[in-house]
């Protein structure tokens, strides 16, 4: 055999660089399901199932082309190294080829595994992304500070997306001033239900395997309906563009009890597994605007998430790993509250976000950033524990995208690489953006006393604890000015209540 092409669970793209020059007469594909990948963080059942179902469907699609796929199902080998060694011994390839992995440690593991096998390993650039790692490094070099907005403008110029010559269409780069509404008192009304993908026989087999092998893992599979093939992913994209894009921007930051999807696309897992090309997604959104099917603010807001944020966080990951994962700029050490794994809490917004996370493997961005993430940040949870939780529970969780979002954007543990200030807010933000406070026994206006909202208590406590470090940050001026209005007694009461809360949550059983 000439080449063995290594394909990882998040590289399921038959047009990827790994297959350049593939010759079925002398090459084969290698894929492996490794249980350790689901246990190194305590992965939720929906997350494991999405990966395995998509991998098995991809295997079948390649075999239908007549390609040889050496596929190791769950339980055959303890790790990638052993699975690869077995294949090399059986197939005797002369070289190994792969595309850059989505996780630093996995890339290292393959490079290390190739050495004792005595085989060259060719690592090819991942063409899935608009911005290569080298191009991001060029963008970053010489800059004192990296900011998404400047990177995004560069990407718009480089790709010509939403551009007229060298100017942004409509004259502005960013239309967020038109976005970010809440649903108001009457709620979202009738929401367009996203396209569901009923599990086929192959997926049902995966669900049964996951239930059997990972029965004690968090989450459940009853509602599993994710796209797990490239054609399904394309259908999911079409469904989003036709029914939800037009209101995406407007309600991007809104929350509503019992409504997990709102106007979000649900495309992150399909894109991260490479079932869906982000160029196709961006082009479809731009076309919808050009044809008058979506306002510019919605199309631009959506495109920014993909052409901007998604590419930017990948750049940050590869630029700062492996030390990035160790960062803990705010010296946070509290344990993760046990209810993150069960959803069993009296606080309505957390209960809703955690419940759907475990049930569906999904929460939208504002739930991740301003509910579960914010609570962890304010409480002072060790960012490593937060990272492990986010990597475990979401169907779209792959380290290159999860880690900078969690450690950087959400927990400010990177000291300001990702975000120019910690995203902190009191319960009043949550009250403004959704309806959970109306169903909660806590009052977001109160920071102390029996009805105090924990977000509000912990918000002021956070500012008190970190005031000296935050004082030099001009973007924190207003929040610190409000803090300065609290008298000594109020400060002491807030700190006392926050300490009690922290003790209570730390001592609840894991």
Q: What is the 3-state secondary structure (H, E, C) of 137-202?
A: HHHHCCCCCCCHHHHHHHHHHHHCCCEECCEEHHHCCCCHHHCCCCCCCCCCCCCCCCCCCCCCHH
Binding mask 307-326 vs ligand FAD (x if CB under 6 A, - otherwise)?
A: --xx--x-------------
Among 239, 396, 414, 461, binds ligand FAD (CB under 6 A): 396
Smallest distance, ligand FAD to C-beta of residue 354, A: 13
Among 139, 264, 359, 436, binds ligand FAD (CB under 6 A): 264
Among 306, 381, 453, 476, binds ligand FAD (CB under 6 A): 306
Among 368, 436, 465, 466, binds ligand FAD (CB under 6 A): 368
Among 305, 435, 447, 457, binds ligand FAD (CB under 6 A): 305
Helices (H) and strands (E) in the chain, counts: 22, 7
Q: Which CB sits closer to ligand FAD, 221 or 360? A: 360
Smallest distance, ligand FAD to C-beta of residue 261, A: 7
In what side-by-side order are the strands of the sheet with 27-32? Answer: 69-72, 27-32, 3-6, 95-99, 121-124
* Residue labelled with tokens 């209005």: 485
Q: Which CB sits closer to ligand FAD, 106 or 397? A: 397
- Which residues partner with 30 through β-bridges? 6, 70
**Residue 47 interacts with ligand FAD (CB under 6 A): yes or no:** no
Among 397, 424, 463, 494, binds ligand FAD (CB under 6 A): 397
- Cα gap 471→475, rounded to integer Å: 9
Q: Which CB sits closer to ligand FAD, 7 or 374? A: 374
Q: Which CB sits closer to ligand FAD, 88 or 255? A: 255
Cα 134 to the chain's mean position, in Å? 23
**Residue 59 interacts with ligand FAD (CB under 6 A): yes or no:** no
Residues 6 or more apart whose CB falls under 8 angstroms from that of 260 comprise 356, 360, 362, 363, 364
**Residue 347 interacts with ligand FAD (CB under 6 A): yes or no:** no
**Residue 44 interacts with ligand FAD (CB under 6 A): yes or no:** no
Q: Which CB sits closer to ligand FAD, 16 or 43? A: 43
- Cα gap 214→249, rounded to integer Å: 38
Among 272, 345, 356, 357, binds ligand FAD (CB under 6 A): 272
Q: Which CB sits closer to ligand FAD, 29 or 146? A: 146
Determine the interface stretch with ligand FAD among 161-169, 185-193, 365-373, 438-446 (rule: CB under 6 A).
Answer: 365-373
DSSP at 208: H
- Strands 69-72 and 121-124 come out as unpaired
Helices within 437-509 (DSSP H only): 454-470, 477-484, 488-507
Long-range contact pairs involving 388-391 (C-beta distance under 8 Å, separation at least 24): 388/41, 388/42, 389/41, 389/336, 389/340, 389/341, 391/41, 391/43
DSSP at 336: P
Determine the interface stretch with ligand FAD among 21-29, 125-133, 363-371, 478-486 (rule: CB under 6 A).
Answer: 363-371
Smallest distance, ligand FAD to C-beta of residue 398, A: 6
Task: List the one residue out of 288, 310, 291, 312 whose CA is nearest residue 300.
Answer: 288
Q: Which two tokens stand for residue 51?
A: 């990966």
**Residue 161 interacts with ligand FAD (CB under 6 A): yes or no:** no
DSSP at 3: E
Among 57, 250, 364, 436, binds ligand FAD (CB under 6 A): 364
Q: Which of residues 406-435 bind ligand FAD (CB under 6 A)?
A: 406, 409-410
- Which residues partner with 98 through β-bridges? 6, 123
Q: Which CB sits closer to ligand FAD, 398 or 476? A: 398
- Cα gap 437→427, rounded to integer Å: 8
Smallest distance, ligand FAD to C-beta of residue 64, A: 28
**Residue 356 interacts with ligand FAD (CB under 6 A): yes or no:** no
Residues 6 or more apart whose CB falls under 8 angstroms from that of 118 comprise none
**Residue 37 interacts with ligand FAD (CB under 6 A): yes or no:** no
- Chain residues binding ligand FAD by CB under 6 A are 264-268, 271-272, 305-306, 309-310, 313, 364-365, 368-369, 373, 390, 394, 396-397, 401-402, 405-406, 409-410
């Amino acid at each position: 055999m000439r080449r063995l092409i290594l394909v990882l669970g998040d590289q399921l793209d038959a047009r990827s660089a790994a297959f350049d020059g593939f010759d079925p007469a002398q090459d084969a594909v290698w894929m492996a399901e490794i249980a350790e990948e689901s246990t190194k963080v305590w992965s939720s059942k929906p997350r494991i199932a999405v990966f395995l179902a998509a991998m098995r469907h991809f295997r079948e699609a390649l075999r239908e082309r007549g390609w040889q796929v050496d596929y190791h199902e769950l339980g055959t080998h303890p790790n990638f190294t052993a699975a690869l060694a077995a294949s090399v011994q059986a197939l005797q390839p002369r070289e190994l080829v792969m595309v850059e992995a989505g996780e630093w440690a996995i890339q290292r593991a393959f490079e290390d595994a190739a050495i004792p096998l005595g085989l060259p390993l060719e690592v090819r650039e991942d063409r899935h992304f608009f911005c290569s790692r080298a191009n991001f490094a060029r963008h970053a070099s010489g800059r004192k500070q990296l900011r998404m907005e400047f990177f995004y403008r560069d990407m718009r110029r480089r790709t010509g997306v939403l551009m007229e010559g060298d100017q942004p269409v409509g004259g502005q780069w960013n239309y967020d001033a038109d976005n970010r509404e809440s649903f108001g008192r009457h709620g979202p009304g009738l929401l367009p239900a996203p396209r569901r993908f009923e599990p086929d026989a192959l997926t049902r087999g995966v669900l049964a395997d996951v239930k059997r092998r990972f029965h004690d893992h968090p989450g459940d599979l009853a509602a599993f309906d994710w796209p797990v093939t490239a054609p399904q992913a394309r259908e999911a994209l079409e469904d989003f563009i036709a029914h939800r894009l037009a209101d995406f921007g407007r309600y991007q930051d809104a929350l509503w009890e019992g409504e997990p999807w709102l106007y979000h696309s649900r495309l992150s897992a399909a894109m991260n597994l490479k079932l869906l090309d982000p160029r196709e997604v961006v082009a479809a959104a731009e076309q919808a605007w050009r044809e008058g099917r979506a306002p510019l603010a919605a199309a631009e807001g959506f495109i920014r998430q993909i052409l901007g944020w998604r590419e930017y966080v990948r750049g940050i990951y590869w630029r700062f790993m492996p030390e990035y994962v160790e960062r803990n700029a705010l010296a946070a050490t509290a344990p993760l509250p046990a209810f993150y794994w069960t959803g069993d809490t009296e606080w309505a917004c957390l209960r809703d976000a955690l419940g759907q996370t475990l049930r569906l493997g999904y929460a939208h961005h504002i739930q991740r950033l301003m509910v579960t993430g914010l609570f962890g940040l304010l409480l002072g949870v060790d960012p490593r524990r937060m990272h492990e939780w986010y990597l475990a529970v979401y169907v779209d969780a792959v380290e290159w995208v999860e880690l900078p979002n969690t450690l950087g954007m959400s927990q400010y543990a990177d000291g300001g690489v990702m975000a120019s200030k910690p995203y902190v807010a009191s319960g009043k933000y949550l009250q403004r953006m959704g309806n959970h406070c109306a169903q909660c026994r806590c009052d977001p206006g109160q920071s102390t006393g029996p009805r105090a909202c924990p977000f509000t208590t912990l918000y002021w406590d956070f500012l008190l604890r970190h005031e000296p470090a935050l004082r030099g940050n001009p973007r924190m001026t207003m929040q610190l000015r409000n803090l300065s209005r609290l008298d000594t007694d109020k400060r002491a009461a807030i700190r006392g209540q926050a300490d009690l809360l922290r003790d209570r949550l730390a001592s609840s059983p894991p």
